[in-house]
Chain A
Amino acid sequence: MIPTPNLSHLTAKDFERVYEPAEDTFLLLDALENDAEDLKSSRPLICLEIGSGSGCVSAFIGTILGPSSALYLCTDINTHACQCTVATGRQNKVCLESVGTYLDRSLHTRLKHRVDLLIFNPPYVPTDSVEAESAQSSPAIASAWAGGINGMELTNTFLKLAPELLAPQGRFYLVAVKENNIPRILAAMLNEHDLAGKVVLQRRAGREHLHILRFEKQGSQVQT
């Protein structure tokens, strides 16, 4: 059992502005824990989490891999989330490198083909486009969940960037819900980007049917 990161330093006030870990977060943690031995033996050096929010997921990865074994880069469009990410790193004795930016902007060029472990728990809730766009341009709490049409607007943008970031043996974990049309995501990633993906874990939580997708470059799949 890998302990869930300690978030006791974050308050209700923080969670008015930053997404509080919920079922989607915990399902992602469970998927990472299931893969813990594999992840450790693949020795990732550069981890990148897009939209790190409270920092819970990256702190968990730091606990799996060890604080001095990898670089834990985290981005968030919400600068309060960036502060929470750093604080969560400190609380859990993992140095989380927080960068305030949109997706991977400012890091993309230098990180091309260098990311060993890529994580994205996107805003996946279907909303109208205007709501999703205004959420992303004013980094309020809605930027953590408002996903636009099919809940896929931001995810679609990032799915075009992710394949270029991944190192040859890199892995990419993505959170999605049924409404996102998971078969379509898997087919597009395989056909357009040569990334083989599969659902590694799924769970119903209230109205949401949550899925964790894991992608690897074709020909570099590890056995599970």
Chain B
Amino acid sequence: MVRLITHNLLSCHAKGCTTNNFPLQFKDAEIEHREADFNPEFIRGLLPKIEWKALVDTAKELGDTSLPYEQPEMMDDELLKTLHHVLLEMHVEEGQMICPNCNHVYPISNGIPNMLLAEHEIA
């Protein structure tokens, strides 16, 4: 499944596409919410590995505006819970991810993102 944590780690890898290739933009996304166990320590650990702006923008695209635009310096429990929900409980099951630079379309089917490229598209 494509959760936003995974989406935050994916970039376009088509031939010649090396700048402005992140984050991929969702299109026709069908979202399911599934509860996951909250582990504040895990979320804190993930924070330095996350591109905050990409996460906030993407969540907004998907209709979730619960995260502040600027990354707060202090993370209280409530914010960690919000992050937990956005990163780990929203599953994109169907739809597409489109590269903002080269417009390559990566389909998502049954929750699996297909990032495979055809021979001529490989860098």
Listed in ascending order, the chain A residues whose CB lies under 8 Å from chain B are: 43, 45-46, 67-71, 73, 77, 79, 82-83, 86, 95, 97-102, 105-111, 114, 137
Contact = CB atoms under 8 A, between A and B. Distances in A.
A110 B9 contact: yes
Query: What does DSSP make chain B's interface, helix, strand, loop or mixed?
Result: loop
Contact of A99 (B5, B6, B45, B119): B6
Nearest to B123: A105
A8 B9 CA distance: 31
Interface string B76-110: 00000000000010000000000000000010001
Interface residues of B, number: 33
B31 interface: no
A98 B91 CA distance: 12
Given A45-B45, A82-B112, A98-B112, 10 more contacts: A43-B45, A45-B42, A46-B49, A83-B112, A99-B115, A100-B112, A100-B115, A101-B115, A110-B22, A110-B51
Contacts of B22: 109-110
Interface in B6-58: 6, 8-13, 22, 36-39, 41-42, 45-46, 49, 51
A105 B13 contact: yes
Contact of A69 (B2, B9, B39): B39
Contact of B113 (A43, A100, A108): A100
A217 B84 CA distance: 31
Contacts of A97: 1-3, 5-6
A99 B116 CA distance: 9
Most chain B beta-carbon contacts within 10 A, residue among A99, A106, A107: A106
Nearest to A98: B112
Nearest to A111: B9
Contacts of A77: 116
A106 to B, nearest CB: 4
Contact of A73 (B9, B11, B12, B119): B9
Contacts of B11: 106, 109-110
Contacts of A99: 6, 10, 112-113, 115
Contacts of B12: 106
Contacts of B39: 68-69
A69 B41 CA distance: 8
Contacts of A82: 112
